[in-house]
Amino acid sequence: MPTGSGGGYIGNKNSKKFHRPDCRWAAEIAPHNRVEFRSREEAVKAGYVPCKVCRP
């Protein structure tokens, strides 16, 4: 997914949190810890919790 596309969510394998693509914390995720989700439901089903800053 291209950065800035506005779709989907970015997850962090270490913290198990997911973010909106424009969240400042999503930008700080190391490439090897980055997971992309198409929907909020997909992230939640994978065991990820929403970021408390961007509230995806």
The count of other CB atoms within 10 Å of the CB of residue 17 is 21
Predicted confidence at residue 5, as pLDDT, reads: 46
How confident is the model over 9-30, as a mean pLDDT? Answer: 97
Supply the Cα-derived Rg of the chain in whole angstroms: 10
pLDDT tens digits for range 34-55: 999 999 999 999 999 999 999 9
Separation of alpha carbons 28 and 34, rounded Å: 10
| CB-based contact 22:2 (threshold 8 Å) | no
